[in-house]
Structure 1
């Protein structure tokens, strides 16, 4: 479905303070099951946007590596250890949803603030105002609602959570199409890998056979084209603002800090196969890689784990537009 330009920059559009907003469930079209005990996922949305947020909660905490690329990163925290990751719409104003997750975790600790009681939350935002004619954004109330909705072993996919108003293929906005939130899970012996991604990219989504699956749709041709074709024809095509792909990878493999960092980079870099172009000046792409430190790699090398996780990441991208 292509998108018509909206006038969200006009004066007088409604925002949070103009409406009575109530967090709503954000189930999408279904969910991807995963087997990582102690990992919970919740989503919530404001239908008035629509816009939403997605929370990955690891109550026991998890070591984290963050790989941030592109020229427009909107990142909060970026800690090397986290109890929750919050992905959210609303661009910079969605940062308050991340704070809401932190407030909810504080309340769950009965407001205990000793050093070893602190609950760490990192998060990142997408710009999703371009698909809707209002200024409604995820806030603290919505972040808390997403955390409260979290369940173990299920990751909602489709137009839900942070991907509620995500879009892809914005060479020109009139040729963009809705995308969403996707997830995929794989096991390799005792090794487990979950990858989830919110695709809100300049680039199009590319299938494994090279087919353009979402974005840059030319209605006059009833066809989608690779952006490179359009850039070659019109080299002065203006850049479309408001893009970003956010990704969370969770594994149970015990990795050294440097190995976890390299895993985040390897998998994030691999995602250019499924999103083209990727990491542009107008993207704020961020990948959070978390480990629950439960099993050893065994005979599998870190680079091999990265290769396997990269295939799961491509599956997650494809899941976002099914």
Structure 2
């Protein structure tokens, strides 16, 4: 079957471009073996420029899904810490302490194969050398994007490889592109959720660089800095969006069980060039991940598998902050985390605007 032969269920109304019309979960769906899959490279809604030597980001999609993959490439390697929360985590390479790439993908657990394709390309780039000093590693995490579409097509090794091959050093597409092409938010009820996508933000402060890339697919809604819900939990009758807590409270007051639809997860990478020891890197990642609950409400639920990769290229030493029992850099790493936390909020917002 070709993509032109398949009649695709409309995913959103033209008049309301962010409204999602979820397909039914039951019944057979077409899969990867049923169509001739060709990786594409979407432009997204906009681009976020960045200037981070040694870091590149690429995306690729299967429009027949639609589903996709996003790869953050660090050819020289970056020390990595993982902060994974929620009840539906899907990770490959979780315990790698040094990575040369991070791969995000749709397809839930099946999409973890995309990271295998990244590994294959990394091996090819070494000339297939397999000495200890030549080994390269890629870690990855997935979102559940299958509720937003009517196929069982998932990212595979070929798609992950295509995303890495398309990596750019100057800009990142945001919106419905890469691993975020079928991401959505506000799944209190599937009829009220809306499309989101991939987001990114970058900041350079003197020699310090921080880059955040995120694929936003939560149970929760996306909240602006003024408290306005900008995506998710859209009430078609009133034309309004609201915080899910209002629905939960109303259900309890009515003696009913609050509803939440499964199939979610937000995956994020925060990359810096600041030298951090292992503990500082771990706490830096935890600080940034915790801060994202301001932008996504609720966050880290038992229907989410939220995962954040914190990476450092260890190139810039911050000025000594004075001796403390937590180490000389402790205060400075907290400041770095605070700045990165604001960037993470910016990145979430770009996924939906």
TM range (shorter): over 0.9
Report 1:297-312 matches (<5 A): 297-298=318-319, 301-312=332-343
For 1:77 and 1:29, the matched residues in 2 are separated by 31
**Comparing 220-229 and 189-198, the one that deviates more:** 189-198
Uncovered stretches (5+) of structure 2, i.e. residues with no partner: 1-17, 322-330
1:34 to 43, 46, 50: 50
Task: Tell me which residue corresponds to 1:212.
Answer: 229
For 1:40 and 1:63, the matched residues in 2 are separated by 16
Task: Tell me which residue corresponds to 1:237.
Answer: 258
Task: Tell me which residue corresponds to 1:193.
Answer: 210
For 1:59 and 1:227, the matched residues in 2 are separated by 41
Partner of 2:313, secondary structure, is: strand
Task: Tell me which residue corresponds to 2:87.
Answer: 71
For 2:113 and 2:43, the matched residues in 1 are separated by 22
For 1:184 and 1:27, the matched residues in 2 are separated by 17
- Structure showing the higher strand proportion among its residues: 1
Larger Rg: 2
Shift of 1:8: 4.0
Task: Tell me which residue corresponds to 1:316.
Answer: 347
Report 1:1-322 matches (<5 A): 1-11=18-28, 13-78=29-94, 79-235=96-252, 236-298=257-319, 301-322=332-353
Shift of 1:188: 2.0
RMSD: 1.0
Contact 1:251 1:290 in 2 (8 A): yes
How high is the TM-score relative to the length of structure 1? 0.98
Which runs of at least 4 in structure 1 moved beyond 3 Å after TM superposition? none
For 1:290 and 1:199, the matched residues in 2 are separated by 19
Partner of 1:151, secondary structure, is: coil
Uncovered stretches (5+) of structure 1, i.e. residues with no partner: none
How high is the TM-score relative to the length of structure 2? 0.89
Cα deviation, 1:226-246, whole Å, max 9, x if unaligned, reads 100000111412331110000
Shift of 1:5: 2.5
Contact 1:56 1:86 in 2 (8 A): yes
Partner of 2:99, secondary structure, is: strand
